[in-house]
């Protein structure tokens, strides 16, 4: 029998990779398997993963409880449509999320990706005002440094200059992308905007941490201000907790840590621990009541093919079981202390502009820009998988990462900061 074709070399000629100029992109490293916080390369090397596969693998790779839940559901019923049919994993997960999320967040709509979850939230906000007052409110306020996805509507609420979507200007609805309300002038400016433009349906924010924008962090007071301004102006508040949800900030949700409840919350990424795609948009009782009427035109007309995917929901339920006794949240708080201690020396380096740590997130912002692809390769050569964003080198590891692996990650960042940016390329 002939040897199988080289999947990597042949596939590289046909695959279209994310966020990459394929002509100049260095070849990615091939992974043969994963375990815990480790990536095992096809060439025999091992990497400590510092980013958890775009922030999804909060429980570590190959967590037995999640894999067992996937296997059991696969054998029973991998998927059925939710149109006219029902299955236990989705209904049980909806009930549990409604109980876990703060305030009156109580009605759960499932999608397959975080970007679509945000789009659903935007559709809900627009239709809420049509259903309740016949009002045409179609505009949104979001914030500089923010990122909410790559689909058409979500691109319009990302940072237009520092984001990745500037070439789509003209194709997107223009939204208000403004400074976070941290100073008196910024608060007044936002208050005036909300009072002036009655087309605004909602404010959309990544609470406490703007992830893809460079792990920028803001205080709970910003969210308290937004809640007050939204209530004052009669607009909705949407929290995009795709990144911050499920313990990342040291509480189950950033809303809990800030003590602020939005009208709509979006969840994803860690919801299945990185096993399978799933996301959710959760609306408050007040918002949902505008759709729950005798008028068929008031229904939310959205229906992804894989909404409430049975296998994904079963895995998510198993993930919630892991959070149930509170030990994971305690682990994140210990992780925050460890990251603070291990990265403390970076604060004294001239090459470092800022060090930010919150929950299981650490960000070391460099004073000068550096070649991203060269830096990413450098970290791999150090036995770590770390992917800087802009000038920020960050960590979002699995919550159960061992101290030795965490030390390797933070040690690599300190070495990077001390090596000198000019020596990386």
Residue numbers in the known binding site for substrate are: 54, 147, 269, 303, 387
Q: Is 394 a catalytic residue?
A: no
Q: Is 377 a catalytic residue?
A: no
The closest alpha carbon to 213, from 53, 391, 74, belongs to 391
Unique residue bearing structure tokens 């404010």: 203
The closest alpha carbon to 37, from 399, 348, 418, belongs to 399
Among 49, 128, 139, 147, which one carries the catalytic annotation?
A: 147
Among 19, 43, 161, 381, which one carries the catalytic annotation?
A: 19
Alpha-carbon gap, residue 210 to 223, rounded angstroms:
13
Binding-site annotation: residue ranges for pyridoxal 5'-phosphate: 114-115, 240, 304-305
> What is the C-alpha radius of gyration for the chain, rounded to an integer number of angstroms?
22
Local structure of 65: helix, strand or coil: helix
The closest alpha carbon to 32, from 24, 23, 41, belongs to 41
Alpha-carbon gap, residue 355 to 367, rounded angstroms:
11
Q: Cβ distance 165 to 226 under 8 Å? A: no
Angle between helices 310-323 and 64-76 (to 10 degrees): 150
Tokens of 383: 């036995």
Alpha-carbon gap, residue 274 to 66, rounded angstroms:
10
Among 159, 269, 306, 399, which one carries the catalytic annotation?
A: 269
Among 240, 306, 399, 405, which one carries the catalytic annotation?
A: 240
Alpha-carbon gap, residue 416 to 423, rounded angstroms:
9
Phi, psi at 406, each rounded to 5°: -65, -40
Helix H or strand E segment including 256: helix 254-258
Binding-site annotation: residue ranges: 54, 114-115, 147, 240, 269, 303-305, 387
Q: How far apart are the first and last CA of the chain?
A: 44
Q: Is 269 a catalytic residue?
A: yes
Angle between helices 220-233 and 184-196 (to 10 degrees): 30
Q: Is 231 a catalytic residue?
A: no
Active site residues: 19, 147, 240, 269
């Amino acid at each position: 029998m002939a040897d199988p074709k080289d999947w990597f070399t042949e596939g590289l000629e046909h695959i279209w990779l994310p966020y990459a100029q394929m002509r100049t992109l260095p070849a990615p490293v091939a992974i043969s398997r994963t375990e815990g916080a480790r990536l095992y390369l096809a060439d025999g090397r091992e990497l400590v993963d510092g980013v958890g596969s775009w922030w999804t693998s909060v429980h570590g790779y190959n967590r037995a409880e999640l894999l067992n839940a996937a296997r059991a559901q696969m054998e029973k019923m991998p998927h059925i449509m939710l149109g006219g049919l029902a299955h236990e994993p989705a209904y049980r997960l909806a009930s549990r999320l409604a109980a876990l999320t703060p305030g009156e967040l109580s009605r759960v709509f499932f999608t397959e990706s975080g970007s679509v979850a945000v789009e659903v939230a935007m559709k809900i906000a627009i239709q809420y005002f049509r259903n309740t007052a016949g009002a045409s409110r179609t505009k949104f306020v979001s914030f500089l440094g923010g990122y909410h996805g790559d689909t058409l509507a979500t691109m319009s609420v990302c940072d237009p200059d520092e984001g990745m979507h500037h070439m789509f200007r003209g194709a997107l609805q223009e939204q208000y992308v403004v400074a976070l309300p941290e100073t008196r002038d910024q608060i007044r400016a936002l208050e005036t905007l909300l009072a002036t433009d009655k087309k605004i349906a909602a404010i959309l924010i990544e609470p406490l941490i703007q992830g893809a924008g460079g792990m920028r962090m803001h205080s709970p007071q910003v969210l308290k201000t937004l809640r007050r301004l939204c209530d004052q102006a009669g607009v909705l508040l949407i929290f995009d907790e795709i990144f911050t949800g499920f313990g990342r900030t040291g509480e189950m949700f950033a809303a809990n840590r800030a003590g602020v409840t939005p009208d709509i919350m979006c969840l994803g990424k860690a919801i299945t621990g990185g096993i399978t795609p799933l996301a959710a948009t959760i609306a408050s009782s007040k918002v949902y009541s505008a759709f729950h009427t005798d008028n068929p035109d008031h229904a939310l007309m959205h229906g992804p093919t894989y909404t409430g995917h049975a296998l994904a929901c079963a895995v998510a339920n198993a993930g919630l079981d892991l959070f149930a006794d509170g030990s994971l949240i305690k682990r994140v708080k210990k992780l925050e202390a460890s990251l603070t201690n291990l990265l403390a020396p970076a604060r004294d380096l001239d090459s470092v502009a800022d060090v930010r740590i919150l929950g299981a997130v650490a960000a070391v912002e460099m004073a000068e820009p550096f070649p991203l692809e060269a830096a990413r390769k450098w970290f791999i050569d150090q036995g770590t998988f770390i992917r800087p964003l802009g000038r920020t080198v960050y960590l979002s590891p699995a919550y159960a990462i061992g101290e030795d692996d965490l030390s390797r990650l933070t040690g690599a960042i300190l070495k990077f900061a001390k090596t000198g940016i000019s020596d990386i390329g």
